[in-house]
Structure 1
Amino acid sequence: MINLRHLYYFWTVAKTGSVAAAAERLHLAPQTVSTQVKLLEDSLGTPLLQPAGRRLKLTPAGSRAAAYADEIFALAEALKTSLRNSGEFAQPLRVGISDAVPKNVAYRLLAPVTELAEPVRLVCQEGKLDRLLAELALHRLDVVVADRMLPSTVRVKGYNHRLGESQLAFFAAAPLARSCRRFPACLDGAPMLLPGEDSASRLRLQEWFEAQGVRPRIVGEFDDAALMKAFGEAGRGIFPAPAVLAAEVQAQYKVKEIGRAKGVNEAYYAITAERRISHPALRLVTEAARDRLFSRSGRPD
């Protein structure tokens, strides 16, 4: 293996044109530089420099060696520059987020990653669960966050790690909230905004409506929970959201909680390709979900 120190001394001589000039730049004795270059020539089995008057010039082999040295030390400098920005080399956590998971929940689950002493770069993708699971199977994702366990119909090897669950609550802008005094009876005939059919809670909500003897007027269905909330904020209908986020939803969208669907709970899972979670950032996500997000508020009765 080539000694990089010997190569660097040779490269400096090639750049400056003489041993004396190279020695001055390197803050070394000329004899030290000359000896190191000779050791490199011996290891390569060919002369790299030859006298040209008072200066030295490259032999044909020396020209090739100098060209390689240019690339080697340019890469070394690029590495040093890049490492100054630790974020560039932070360990990535590649997360797939099912579009049925509310963005507020996804944020609260993943935010603790930014608290790690060792920097982690979050790489987030949002999409349909089946597509994200395919990416997980190809090891393009470290984890998929979903509102359901890995479906048995999907031919992907994976493991479910339960993050927690929350009861669902109903929210409405002030005018609608004032008209809903007797919950859940007030939902009968009321304009309702519901998550799309891909949401695991959609069927359970419809069954709950039937059990309560109410038939809301469904005016909108949304795969994007944030868009559903925006319509709710504008007073277009009542909408469900995890009770664990009640305070946040009310503050952000200027709406009021009008009641909770007892017995209708939305659970969240981290689906991984490995049985045991080894990524330190992902371990923090599961711990924070249990200890912070789902510790008290919004738990099912």
Structure 2
Amino acid sequence: MSGDLLFFIEISLAGLGSGALLALTALAFVLIYKATRVVNLAVSEVLMLGGYLFFAFAAGLGLSAWVALPLSILGGGLLGGIVERGVIRPMLGENPISVFMVTVGLGSILVGMAELIWGAEPKSLPAFISTTPLFLGEAYVSRKIAVAFVVAGVTISVFLALFRFWRGGVALRATATDQAAAYSCGINVPGVFSVAWIVGCATAAGAGVLLGAIGGISTTMGVFGLSALVVVIVGGLDSILGALIGGLALGLIQSWASTYLGGEYTSVVTFGLLIVAMMIRPYGLFGTHEIERL
């Protein structure tokens, strides 16, 4: 195999790993939007908080990494439940822009709290993933990225199956389609909202731990969440499959752009893709095309 081809394969594998984390973060956006029609921009900061919670449990309290990991995920879910019950539910029926701005403010509060508690300097998480080299044929891939890819793939596959076959997944889909009809069928719509926020934020926190294991944690980790927002807009705000395919595709594109054009072009390509996608298919590649009669 030629050196150029091997190099291309290696950066593509790295891009797929990054794309898997984007897809996992995008899943958090989709779960919440699918049930409540709220675009929760604070998902980016919940991702950041997941990394810091792991740092607090593993480095601060000295807990085993395999104890700190589920505690961090539970912490993200607990935050999601508190926010949904105390902030979002009282605003149901309000202008969607108002609810969106509340999530923007929540994100800023989370960043400020993280800086007050842990400081603004980047930190490294205690190692819990092996650094032994991993080769696929002749191509090298970071074991951390490979683990992130597998975890994201399994998690998204589980959610796809749950939404298709599990009764709770059917209830969530029914609530997303028509809340009034869901009420009339005996579905606990507020309970569905709570579950969506808890699971969505727990997913984001888990993605934050994986991202922190690869590149460390900092209060600017929310920028990664903005790329995940691009994924859900391009793939479809209510599509789990769109989050998976869009995340992997964007991860590849960002990796290629960063390598062959330069890191400064990554954001240009990412948000340029967003603009083009919105112009061609504003409801996303796999999103529901809603038609309003005037």
Report the TM-score, using the length of structure 2 for normalisation: 0.23
Q: Of the two, which has the highest radius of gyration? A: 1
TM-score (norm 1): 0.23
Between 1 and 2, higher relative CO (CA 8 Å, sep ≥ 6) is seen in 2
Higher helix share: 2
